[in-house]
Copies of this chain bind each other. A is one copy, B any other.
Amino acid sequence: MQGLMMNYPLTLPHILERAGKLFPKIEIVSRLPDKKIHRTNYGEFYKRTRLFSEALQKAGLKPGDRVATLCWNHYRHLEAYFGIPCAGGVLHTLNLRLHADDIAYIASHAEDRFLVVDDVLLPVYEQFKGKHKFERVFVIRSEGKPLPAGCEDYEDLLKTASGKWDYPKIDENDALGMCYTSGTTGKPKGVLYSHRAIVLHTLCGGLVDNNGICHNDSLLLIVPMFHANGWALPFICAMVGSKLVLPGPHVDPESVLQLFDSERVTFSAGVPTVWQGVLEALDKNPGKWRIEKGARLACGGSAPPEALMRGLDRHGLYLKHLWGMTELSPLGTAGYFKQNLGELPDEKRYAIRKTQGLPIPYVDCRIWSDTGEAPWDGKTMGELQVRGPWVAGNYFKDEGEGDKWTKDGWFRTGDVAVIDEEGYVKLTDRTKDLIKSGGEWISSVDLENAIMGHPAVREAAVIAIPHPKWDERPLAVVVKKDGADVTLDELKQFLAPKFAKWWLPEGLAFVPEIPHTSTGKIQKLKLREQFQNWKW
């Protein structure tokens, strides 16, 4: 027997309407390329977004057509975020940090018809425009420079709209947006989000124990809007009416902290590297910037080191670790202390904060080991597999990536993890990055985190190097702090209390910089290439 409730679809226009009607005076603040501050509000955003939707339809947009964006975080990117899906199109955020060839591949694979691009990013566009032909290119202009041939002004497009317009009929399972994964190997793969998935993810992501964002927040979005839906925060902000602060291209610590001060930021989100820089700036300039009491930082992309969390705590900034993936819209787990844990000693608190946290509601997590589903014992490693209404069920035009899903319908994350008795998920490695020494597994991530606690180390990566006796052994690749030094023996001594002897690095190499992917993850593949001729 079916229930007798209304058939009301979970689609994005509701959030746009809500923001326009209930929160017209709440501010949206953007930092422009010239560092000037631009102020608007959800009222203006609502009007302009609807104009953009209408204009897109007039420009020939058909339901399901992909419209790409190549933009920093600012108010007009936000208009595209809502305007494209509300017109029935599919928002395709291009990652401007990728190689031009990759961007071209992605735009072609997605069959993007239109492009919205920042004028300051036209040089990026120039590099790949020969390889994928957009039908129309709309330029968001912040500088007075003339438009390149074949491009149109975004503002001129808006002028083609009448303002008398109604949303097309959208089914909740219709595609809303897409985002390509920045795979460290293989071709990028497209995740195609539905309206339903994004709405559910927005509701769940806003819960107290997840992001916990409310009407009273001022949210600084440092994570790029081209990374996995900007961690869904633009949608949550518009839904609950929190102030939104968008930093444009300026995400250096000084610029970020200026915004914390001037915009009374209560919540921000970014990868550990950003917070590392912020911490250093705060340490160097105590009292220079006002930090709101109880301000929270959402941190994802990779696991935050303990020293970073401790440092930020000193400045009244609480870093909360969340874990997600492009394929999860992106949120999968969130860190907090369950009340049955009671009062915990400091050390235990940080140990929990370093984990990926607990599965969020409506996401199922399991660990799949060689012998099947692993117990939640904190010890048995296996692949983390997930399931839920905002988890990808397939890739766009999937070509042989079917092995990313199990036969019983779980998504294989490619991460090796354990789940402890309390349900905390702890990633130990990427399946590809585990080190197999003498038949036993060593987690490169655990070693990296510990090495980064050494006073002489700025950043560290651990990779597997073939070994004549042990099959593989760990090599520590380290960036030293200015003027500091450390030897392999000193490092091993430092690590000895925390690990079995056979886990300790076999070698130590210094580098000026560790390569990262465009989303801030360590590029192990590149490091392994760099050290392929390493001799023990």
- Residues of chain A from 185 to 232 with CB closer than 8 A to chain B in the complex: 191-197, 199-200, 203-204, 206-209, 212-216
**A52 in the interface, Cβ–Cβ < 8 Å?**
no
Chain B residue numbers with a CB within 8 Å of A174 are: 1-3
Query: Quick check: which of A101-109, A239-247, A509-517 contacts chain B, the rest being far away?
Result: A239-247
**A501 in the interface, Cβ–Cβ < 8 Å?**
no
Nearest-neighbour CB distance to chain B for A180, whole angstroms, equals: 13
Please tell me which one of the listed residues B173, B212, B239, B387 contacts residue A361 in the complex, with CB atoms under 8 A apart: B239
**A10 in the interface, Cβ–Cβ < 8 Å?**
yes
Q: Are A336 and B194 touching (Cβ within 8 A)?
A: no
Please tell me which one of the listed residues B8, B63, B395, B411 contacts residue A362 in the complex, with CB atoms under 8 A apart: B8
Query: Quick check: which of A22-30, A140-148, A301-309, A447-455 contacts chain B, the rest being far away?
Result: A22-30
Q: Are A212 and B208 touching (Cβ within 8 A)?
A: yes
**A32 in the interface, Cβ–Cβ < 8 Å?**
no
Q: Are B176 and A64 touching (Cβ within 8 A)?
A: no
A6 to B242, CA, bound (A): 30
**A5 in the interface, Cβ–Cβ < 8 Å?**
yes
A4 to B411, CA, bound (A): 13
Number of chain A residues close to chain B: CB under 8 A: 78
Nearest-neighbour CB distance to chain B for A244, whole angstroms, equals: 12
Chain B minimum-CB-distance residue to A65: B1
Chain B residue numbers with a CB within 8 Å of A214 are: 207-209, 212, 336
A202 to B311, CA, bound (A): 37
Query: Quick check: which of A13-21, A270-278, A426-434, A479-487 contacts chain B, the rest being far away?
Result: A13-21
**A388 in the interface, Cβ–Cβ < 8 Å?**
yes
**A409 in the interface, Cβ–Cβ < 8 Å?**
yes
Given A203-B203, A207-B207: A197 in contact with B388 (beta carbons within 8 A) = no
Please tell me which one of the listed residues B197, B329, B336, B376 contacts residue A215 in the complex, with CB atoms under 8 A apart: B336
Given A203-B361, A207-B206, A209-B214: A192 in contact with B3 (beta carbons within 8 A) = yes
Nearest-neighbour CB distance to chain B for A375, whole angstroms, equals: 12
Q: Are B338 and A390 touching (Cβ within 8 A)?
A: no
Chain B minimum-CB-distance residue to A397: B4
**A462 in the interface, Cβ–Cβ < 8 Å?**
no
**A162 in the interface, Cβ–Cβ < 8 Å?**
no
Q: Are A241 and B338 touching (Cβ within 8 A)?
A: yes
A171 to B193, CA, bound (A): 22
**A359 in the interface, Cβ–Cβ < 8 Å?**
yes
**A393 in the interface, Cβ–Cβ < 8 Å?**
yes
Q: Are A8 and B391 touching (Cβ within 8 A)?
A: yes
Please tell me which one of the listed residues B15, B64, B358 contacts residue A22 in the complex, with CB atoms under 8 A apart: B358
**A396 in the interface, Cβ–Cβ < 8 Å?**
yes
Q: Are B215 and A339 touching (Cβ within 8 A)?
A: yes
**A262 in the interface, Cβ–Cβ < 8 Å?**
no
Q: Are B389 and A10 touching (Cβ within 8 A)?
A: yes
**A340 in the interface, Cβ–Cβ < 8 Å?**
yes
Given A3-B194, A203-B200: A389 in contact with B15 (beta carbons within 8 A) = no
Please tell me which one of the listed residues B5, B21, B393 contacts residue A196 in the complex, with CB atoms under 8 A apart: B5
Nearest-neighbour CB distance to chain B for A377, whole angstroms, equals: 14
**A7 in the interface, Cβ–Cβ < 8 Å?**
yes
**A71 in the interface, Cβ–Cβ < 8 Å?**
no
Q: Are A396 and B240 touching (Cβ within 8 A)?
A: no
Given A6-B389, A388-B6: A338 in contact with B1 (beta carbons within 8 A) = no
Q: Are B243 and A339 touching (Cβ within 8 A)?
A: yes
A203 to B90, CA, bound (A): 26
Please tell me which one of the listed residues B63, B336, B362, B389 contacts residue A5 in the complex, with CB atoms under 8 A apart: B389
Given A8-B389, A208-B213: A175 in contact with B2 (beta carbons within 8 A) = yes
Given A26-B339, A204-B203, A207-B207: A3 in contact with B196 (beta carbons within 8 A) = yes
Q: Identify the 9 closest CB pairs spanning chains A and B, nearest first.
A: A3-B194, A1-B64, A208-B214, A25-B340, A8-B389, A6-B393, A5-B197, A4-B192, A203-B203
User: In the complex, given contacts A1-B175, A22-B359, what are 18 additional A-B residue pairs having Cβ atoms less than 8 angstroms apart?
Assistant: A1-B63, A2-B171, A2-B173, A3-B197, A4-B191, A5-B391, A5-B393, A10-B362, A14-B361, A14-B362, A14-B364, A199-B362, A200-B203, A203-B203, A207-B208, A208-B215, A209-B214, A216-B339
Residues of A whose CB lies within 8 Å of any CB of B are: 1-10, 14-15, 17-18, 21-23, 25-26, 63-64, 90, 171, 173-176, 191-197, 199-200, 203-204, 206-209, 212-216, 239-243, 329, 336-340, 358-359, 361-362, 364, 376, 387-396, 409, 411, 422-423
A-B contact pairs, 29 of them (CB 8 A): A1-B174, A1-B175, A1-B192, A2-B175, A2-B194, A3-B192, A3-B193, A4-B192, A4-B194, A6-B387, A6-B393, A8-B387, A8-B391, A22-B358, A22-B422, A25-B338, A26-B340, A200-B203, A203-B207, A203-B361, A206-B207, A206-B208, A207-B240, A208-B215, A209-B215, A215-B339, A216-B339, A239-B361, A241-B338
